[in-house]
Structure formats: structure tokens, C-alpha cells
Amino acid sequence: MLQGIGFVLDNSARKELEQRKDHFLGMASHELKTPITSLKLQTQLLRKQLAKQDIHNVDTALSRMESQLNTVIRLVEELLDLSKIQAGKLEYAQETVNLGDVLQEVVEIVQQTQTTHTIAVEHAGHPPFLVGDKARLGQMLLNLISNAIKYSPEADRVEVDIKTSEEVVTLSVRDYGISIPREQREKIFERFYRAVAPHQRAFPGLGMGLYIVSEIVKHHRGTITVESERGKGSTFHVTLPRKSP
């Protein structure tokens, strides 16, 4: 009996802790995002002013700061998304989206900072129009492409294919990187899960990206799968229906 009560208390305490953690994540990300965003704007302004006077070194330092700030902002945004997903409060727009245009924008943004890999895009079939949330679909593409680059440090190419039929848009992001062991291919879509083996070189990350990607895909009533061959790399396949329910 006593044991039973202990168990109940234990369970509700754990639940409360879980709730507190989710609440904390939401608060912490909000608190961080405002000052960091303002810092970034001020850095940009300062860099532009200084560039006019051609003070090269200051410009370089400020560019680095800006890039670090971008990393922090992305991290905080992911924390915020995670907390919203937990609370069932992630909001989605419903608009007509040309996924090809979104992909083009994402590729341009990535290639501005990542010059180690060429991102090759191929289209087939109809124009890739669908109904969904443009910004979230962009976030999905950015995550998959950033991962493809991050987890293929020895490669110089990432391939993205979009195929569009009457019914669905199928997107494939292929890399020639470290690949994913079979037993981990399901788990990588879970919250905070990281498959990177300890002996491999350090890949930074917190294991939030693919969880958020799979939530976005789920919201659009799509599916996401991964194919991977040891030593040859990985391909993530996303299939999204084109018609709204």
C-alpha cells in the first residue's frame, strides 16, 4: 500500500517536473530571443557604418559575431518551437506554396555561408504547388539541407530532388556523408536523440532538428523516411500531399 502511494506521488511529481521543464524552455527562449535579435541588428548597423571607413579587421570580427549570433538565434527558435509543440501551440499558416521557390530561397541562404558543398537541385513533373505553411516548409528544408552538409564533412555535394505528381510532392535530400546505422534510423526523429557515435569527430547539435521537421511533415499530412548505406551517405525522403483536406 505504502509502496503504491509512493509510486503515485512519484509519478505526479515527475509529471509536474515535465510541465515545469516545458514551461521553462518556453520562458527561457522568449527571454533570450529579444536581446539577441536586437544585438544582431545593432551589429549589422555597426558593420555597415564601419565598412564605409574600410576598417577591415573590425569588419571581419563583426561578421564572425553576426554568424555566432545567427547560431544562437536558430537554437533559441528551435527551443521555442519545441516548447510550442509540447504545448500543442505551434501555429501553421494555410497558404498556397510553391515548394520550388521556397527551396531556391533556402539554397541561396545556405550557399551564402556554406561554400564547402554545392547544393544541386533537380525538378521533375508538375510545378510543386501545395497548400501549407511557407515558413515552416522552409524551416524543414533548411534543417534537412543543413544536416546533409554537417554530416558529410568529407563530401562537396548535396543533391535535392523535387518530383511532383497530381497528388503529391516528393522531396529527396541526399548526402554522401557518415550515414546512419540501421538500428538508429527510426530514433533520430525523436526529441533530443543523437545518433552520432562518440568516436566520430564532433558534430555540434542538440537533437531537436529532425523532431521539429517530422512535426512539420506530420502537420502537412506527409511522411518522412530515411535511406542510408554505410560509407555511402543518407537520403531523406519527404512526401507531402498537394490538396488540403
Q: Which residues bind ligand ADP (CB under 6 A)?
A: 147-148, 151, 175, 177-178, 180, 188, 193-196, 205-211, 234
Tell the smallest beta-carbon distance from residue 23 to ligand ADP (Å).
22
Give the number of other CB atoms < 10 A from CB of residue 30: 13
- Residue placing its CB nearer to ligand ADP in the complex, 164 or 176: 176
Radius of gyration of the chain (CA): 21
Tell the smallest beta-carbon distance from residue 151 to ligand ADP (Å).
3
Cα separation, 62 vs 50, in Å, equals 10
Tell the smallest beta-carbon distance from residue 208 to ligand ADP (Å).
6
Note whether 51 and 66 are within 8 A (CB): no
Note whether 230 and 162 are within 8 A (CB): no
Q: What are residue 22's phi and psi, to 5 degrees?
A: -65, -40
- Residue placing its CB nearer to ligand ADP in the complex, 43 or 223: 223
- Residue placing its CB nearer to ligand ADP in the complex, 139 or 170: 139
- Residue placing its CB nearer to ligand ADP in the complex, 47 or 233: 233
Tell the smallest beta-carbon distance from residue 79 to ligand ADP (Å).
12
In the β-sheet with 157-164, what is the strand arrangement from edge to edge?
Answer: 118-125, 157-164, 168-175, 233-241, 223-229
- Residue placing its CB nearer to ligand ADP in the complex, 44 or 184: 184
Beta bridge partners of 102: none
Return the residue nearest ligand ADP (CB atom): 205
Tell the smallest beta-carbon distance from residue 32 to ligand ADP (Å).
18
